[in-house]
Amino acid sequence: MPRPVNDRIMSMRLPLSKDNFATIISLYAPTMTNPDENKEAYYNQLASVLSGIPRTDKPLLIGGVNKDERKTTWMHPRSGHWHMIDFIITRCRDKMDIHSTRAMRGANCWTDHQMLRSKVAFRIRQKHNRQGTNKATKVNTTKLSTISHRESFEQEMDSALAQWEENEQSSLDEECAALQQVAYSTARTYLGKPDRKHHDWFYPNNREQQTLMRRRDQAGQIYIVLETFTCRKCLSGEIAKQIK
């Protein structure tokens, strides 16, 4: 799971194949307008995080370090010049795992940065289910909201409990487990599994949102080519508000 360090640094340790691990650090460095004490505190915290990475891990630092390298992931709002301030950094010995890294100019994420994508040769470790551990599935308790189903279920449960016989040689824990199994199997048989419902916020207004997103993408492409203020306002203004 991702572990937040502060409002600018987040780390996550991924288990890889052959008992290896990859430590991914997402960061966003303070800009030049921040006080020097904030910058110093940030880099001290980052140094502490980096020193805690095991030597056998494969580290990946992802994010903006706000260093001007005169390349193209961010455009200065006043000069209009493009700069490279977003990086994906790893150890020299792990460079062979990085297949390709490029800026995705067509990706619009309501930010003035270009999205940076890197393809890495990491194989995530597969989870193996333990044998003999059967997790109890949920039952459809929504049926009990109606009186008719609730009364029928009570009759089914009374019938199942009437047929269940206590074993005097069993311990109290064994009797509780057996009673629990009877109640669960009866509920599972009568109520069944709950219906899976995926509440997708995107589906009800799919056509309208697709139209707005196409307009947003077109404005973004025009802005990349022409870099006009009108296109930029259209991209980050009304269309983005309507989509949200």
pLDDT tens, the chain, 244 aa long: 788 888 889 999 988 888 889 999 988 888 778 888 988 998 898 899 999 999 889 888 887 665 544 345 556 666 666 666 677 888 888 888 888 887 776 655 556 667 778 888 887 777 666 655 566 678 888 888 888 888 888 888 888 888 877 777 778 888 888 888 888 888 888 888 887 665 555 555 567 777 877 887 777 677 666 655 555 555 556 666 666 6
Provide the pLDDT for residue 165.
74
Provide the pLDDT for residue 96.
86
Q: Identify the residue whose tokens are 């056509």.
A: 207
Check if CATH label 3.30.450.20 holds for domain 3-120: no
Q: Look at the chain and count its residues.
A: 244
Q: Identify the residue whose tokens are 């009570």.
A: 154
Tokens found for residue 115: 């999205």
Tokens found for residue 77: 């709002």
Please give the Cα distance from 99 to 115 (Å, whole number): 17
Q: Identify the residue whose tokens are 């009797």.
A: 175
Q: How far is CA 58 from the centre of its chain?
A: 20
Quick one: DSSP state of residue 193? P
Provide the pLDDT for residue 69.
41
Provide the pLDDT for residue 68.
45
| All structural domains of the chain with their residue ranges | 3-120, 141-191, 206-243
Provide the pLDDT for residue 71.
46
Q: Coil, strand or helix: which one is 5?
A: coil
Provide the pLDDT for residue 214.
80
Task: Decide: pTM greater than 0.75.
Answer: no
